[in-house]
Structure 1
Amino acid sequence: MQHGDPAGAQSPTTAVAAVDLVKVYGTGATAVRALDGVTVGFGRAAFTAIMGPSGSGKSTLMHCLAGLDTATSGQALLGGTDLTRQPDRVLTRVRRERIGFVFQSFNLLPQLTAEQNIRLPLDLAGRAPDPALSARVVEVLGIGDRLRHRPSELSGGQQQRIALARALVTAPEVVFADEPTGNLDSHSGAEVLSFLRTSVREWGQTVVMVTHDPAAAAYADRVVLLADGRIAGDLDRPDRATISGALHDLAVPR
């Protein structure tokens, strides 16, 4: 599934894709073209990192693919659903039922216990939890003894594990992770990344992660590079040195 390949972007093995995606902020002389005709697909049961210099469009791409932002033109496809053509009420349901989110800031509700935070997407959707899946997520994340605690009683690493459990317990088609280790120390960050990789390799989860950190991206199966709102590279199973070199090349003026 190569970048810039419309057929590959819409393959049956693709979980989520952009097709000629354009996002412009502002109008006239102050307009900023954050995405400039991006076509890329992200495979099912794969862990993909999106990287690029500051202002390259990586977060904008993720937000459009997740239905959190509206594209100016083009398509953002989740399975067979074009999110760019859906009303807000449908997008809300799609985000709740088919997508999991992990953010840098955890986004846990302070008045709820860890268990209540994990169950929140299911409660909002009126769905009963899958006991087997819930038990497996809690076990793998090692949070069984933290379920009655509130976020203020947990470390940053523990809070991010709760956020990850919340993202996984709905069995979403895709988990989007936006700088998930940005507020964590190196040890806690490595644990979260290992859990994401486990969810892909053992459970067949699809994960798309935005990160600026080559060490974090090296956990992924694939790294998609953006620059100036366009696809600038596609690395298959790269190591940290390869990723760092590719980012350095993007930063060098041409």
Structure 2
Amino acid sequence: MDGPAVSATDVVKVYGRGDTAVRALDHVSLEFPRGRFTAIMGPSGSGKSTLMHCLAGLDTVDAGRVHIGRTELTGLSDAELTRLRRDRIGFVFQSFNLLPTMTAEENILLGLRLAGRRPDPAWFDTIVGALGLRERLRHKPGELSGGQQQRVACARALVGRPDVVFADEPTGSLDSKSGAEVLGFLRASVRELGQTVVMVTHDPVAASYTDRRVLLADGRIAELTGQVA
């Protein structure tokens, strides 16, 4: 497909009203190219998590437009947004968000099964092999290390071949070795598999794995560096 994987055009997001109103995003316009790894950075309160939530359809905007590919999110119904997030977006969170009663394999395939879709066996094998999870597929989250749990979460995010993966502080709960392994895989998924990844992070070491860095301050883009295309 032509065009960016994700785009925001003149996006405004305000929390609260009157004197207590906080403008979390202040007319942000930004494009995220396909097949690139982008970090969204900034101090606490800069708007980086709000921007990711709006881009991913997890939160609404007060003004402006958000697109996933050619699909405009603003104006979609809740049911349409749910389908879009399920079918075209992958998520990796700091807290892993794995179901403790399910095995690693069941957690990886859960989203596809809820959508009534069958996994591509070859793609599943590629993802599991790249993440070193073949020997862990029958283990439950409580039997896995933090790094292994996050690798399961990465596999879950990628197994449906989404248009974009959003990662929210994916190494925040990991030690440096496990964090490096997860970031290395996300980097490889972009370089070798053509995935588009957008990651929120406060960590400059994590950001060093990316192609592009977007720095937010007070809800605005303060700096944009790195490879664009």
Question: Taking structure 1 as the reference length, what is the TM-score of the superposition?
Answer: 0.88
C-alpha RMSD of matched pairs (Å): 0.9
| 2:124 partner amino acid | S
Q: Distance in 2 between matches of 1:13 and 1:137?
A: 26
| Runs ≥4 residues deviating over 4 A | none
Q: Distance in 1 between matches of 2:90 and 2:111?
A: 9
Pick aligned residue for 2:3 from 13, 17, 20: 13
Pick aligned residue for 1:22 from 9, 12, 18: 12
Distance apart, 1:84 and its partner CA: 1.3
Which one has the bigger helix percentage? 1
Q: Distance in 2 between matches of 1:82 and 1:55?
A: 26
Pick aligned residue for 1:77 from 67, 89, 96: 67
* Residues matched between the structures, number: 227
Q: Secondary structure at the match of 1:48?
A: strand
Q: Secondary structure at the match of 1:203?
A: coil
- The 5 A counterparts of 1:1-254 are 12-236=2-226
| 1:28 partner amino acid | G
Q: Distance in 2 between matches of 1:124 and 1:104?
A: 23
Distance apart, 1:82 and its partner CA: 1.0
Q: Distance in 1 between matches of 2:106 and 2:63?
A: 38
Question: Taking structure 2 as the reference length, what is the TM-score of the superposition?
Answer: 0.98
| 1:72 partner amino acid | D
Q: Which runs of 5+ in 1 are unaligned?
A: 1-10, 238-254
Q: Distance in 2 between matches of 1:130 and 1:230?
A: 40
Q: Distance in 1 between matches of 2:7 and 2:215?
A: 15
Instruction: Map Cα deviations across residues 173-210 of structure 1 (whole Å, 9 max, x no partner).
Output: 00000000000000000000000000000010000000
Q: Secondary structure at the match of 1:84?
A: coil
Q: Distance in 1 between matches of 2:27 and 2:10?
A: 4
Q: Which runs of 5+ in 2 are unaligned?
A: none
| 1:127 partner amino acid | R
Q: Distance in 1 between matches of 2:146 and 2:205?
A: 19
